[in-house]
């Protein structure tokens, strides 16, 4: 992983470390929603939800758009790229180890 991607990854991982933020991402996974709807669905105050959305936005994990007077929030799949790239680096090694273990059991 290059040094330029590290701050984005660190910020994204810190944002994802909070359960409320992960719940917010899950709530907006399929469609953009306003703060009030997200807050109501998760049982959080609008102030708390806004705070978490701000952290997620700064980490590049959400985007906001205006629809009339409403401010809608959606998941930014581009923002998840640094996290995915980091995690994907682990799979080839783990899959190779799993394959070797399976083959040794059946060999």
CATH code of the domain covering residue 36: 1.10.10.10
pLDDT of residue 7 exceeding 70: no
CB atoms within 10 A of CB 20: 16
Backbone phi and psi for residue 7, each to the nearest 5 degrees, phi listed first: -60, -40
> What's the mean pLDDT in 8-26?
95
In-domain check, residue 52:
yes
In-domain check, residue 1:
no
pLDDT band, very low/low/confident/very high, at 106 (cuts 50, 70, 90): low
pLDDT of residue 58 exceeding 80: yes
- Comparing CA positions, the residue from 4, 6, 7, 12 lying closest to residue 78 is 12
The number of folded domains in the chain is 1
Domain region containing 39 = 7-103
When the pLDDT of each residue in the chain is averaged and rounded to a whole number, the result is 88
Q: How far apart are CA 6 and CA 18, in angstroms?
A: 19
Backbone phi and psi for residue 66, each to the nearest 5 degrees, phi listed first: -100, 135
In-domain check, residue 91:
yes
> What's the mean pLDDT in 79-98?
80
Q: Which pLDDT score is estimated for 18?
A: 98
In-domain check, residue 62:
yes
In-domain check, residue 2:
no
pLDDT band, very low/low/confident/very high, at 77 (cuts 50, 70, 90): confident
pLDDT of residue 8 exceeding 70: yes
**Residue 63 vs residue 84, higher pLDDT:** 63
To the question of pTM greater than 0.85 for the whole model, the response is no
């Amino acid at each position: 992983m290059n040094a330029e991607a590290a701050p984005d990854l660190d910020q994204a991982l810190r944002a994802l470390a909070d359960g409320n933020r992960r719940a917010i991402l899950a709530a907006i996974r399929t469609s953009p929603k306003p703060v009030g709807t997200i807050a109501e669905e998760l049982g959080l105050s609008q102030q708390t939800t806004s705070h978490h959305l701000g952290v997620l936005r700064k980490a590049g994990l959400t985007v906001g758009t205006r629809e009339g007077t409403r401010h809608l929030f959606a998941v930014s799949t581009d923002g998840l790229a640094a996290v995915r790239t980091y995690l994907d680096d682990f799979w080839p090694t783990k899959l190779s180890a799993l394959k070797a273990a399976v083959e040794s059991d059946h060999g």
